[in-house]
Amino acid sequence: ARIVGSVMAYSRDEYIQVGDVFLLGRVVALVEAGKLIAEGNPWDMRGCRVRLPD
């Protein structure tokens, strides 16, 4: 939730807004591609932690 919230706050343009579900989908895609590691279900925005691989 922190990553998604930070991106949404950063991109608060009046005309181009990205929704939280879209951003969550991108995080899940990065987890599935091995670019991020999830601790928990990546679709659970509040209950999952993600990090970069070592």
Structure-block tokens of residue 45: 């925005």
Q: Check if the beta carbon of residue 11 is closer than 8 Å to that of residue 17.
A: yes
pLDDT, tens only, 1-54: 678 888 887 776 676 677 889 999 999 999 999 999 999 999 998 899 999 998
Total-model pTM: 0.76
Residues 6+ apart with CB under 8 A from 24: 4, 43, 45
C-alpha–C-alpha distance, residues 27 and 40, integer Å = 13
